[in-house]
Amino acid sequence: MPGKALGEDSPDRKPIRVALLGCGTVGTEVVRLLTGQADDLTARIGAPVELVGIAVRKPNKHRDVPAELLTTDSAALVAGDVDVVVELIGGIEPARTLLLDALRAGKSVVSANKALLAEHSAELFEAADASGADLYFEAAVAGAIPLLRPLRESLAGDRITRVMGIVNGTTNFILSGMDSTGASYSETLEEATRLGYAEADPTADVDGFDAASKAAILASLAFHSRVTASDVYREGIASVSAADIAAAKGLGRTVKLLAICERVTRDGHESVAVRVHPAMIPRTHPLAGVNGAFNAVFVEADAAGEMMFYGQGAGGAPTASAVLGDLVAAARNRVVGGRGPRESAYAGLSARPMGQTPTRYHISLDVADRPGVLSQVAAVFAEHDVSIAAVRQEGRVDDASLVIVTHAATDAALRSTVDKIGGLPVVREVVSVMRVEGEES
Q: What is the pLDDT of residue 314?
A: 83
Q: What is the pLDDT of residue 12?
A: 63
The pTM is what?
0.93
154 secondary structure, DSSP code? I
Q: What is the pLDDT of residue 3?
A: 53
pLDDT of 6 higher than 80: no
How confident is the model over 334-352, as pLDDT tens digits? 999 989 999 999 999 999 9
More confident residue, 63 or 121: 121
pLDDT of 7 higher than 60: no
Q: How confident is the model at residue 439 (pLDDT cuts 50, 70, 90)?
A: confident
Which residue, 262, 267, 298, is CA-closest to 159?
262
How confident is the model over 272-329, as pLDDT tens digits? 999 999 999 999 999 999 999 999 999 999 999 999 999 988 889 999 999 999 999 9
Q: How confident is the model at residue 13 (pLDDT cuts 50, 70, 90)?
A: confident
Which residue, 361, 368, 355, 367, is CA-closest to 430?
367
CA distance 83 to 80: 9
Taking the CB of residue 218, how many other CB atoms lie within 10 A of it? 29
CA angle 412, 353, 138 (to 5 degrees): 130
Mean pLDDT of the chain: 93
- Helix and strand numbers (H, E) in the chain are 14, 19
Q: What is the DSSP string of 339-393?
A: -------TT-PPBPPGGGSEE-EEEEEEE--STTHHHHHHHHHHHTT--EEEEEE
Instruction: Spell out the alpha helix ranges (H) of 20-150.
Output: 25-36, 38-45, 74-79, 95-104, 114-131, 148-149
CA distance 23 to 316: 11
CB 77 within 8 A of CB 55: yes
pLDDT of 10 higher than 80: no
CA distance 418 to 425: 14
90 backbone φψ class: left, alpha, beta (φ>0; ψ -120 to 50): left
How confident is the model over 210-256, as pLDDT tens digits? 999 999 999 999 999 999 999 999 999 999 999 999 999 988 999 99
Q: What is the pLDDT of residue 193?
A: 94
CB 360 within 8 A of CB 329: no
CA distance 41 to 149: 19
Q: Which of 4, 107, 114, 214 is catalytic?
A: 214
> Is 249 among the catalytic positions?
no
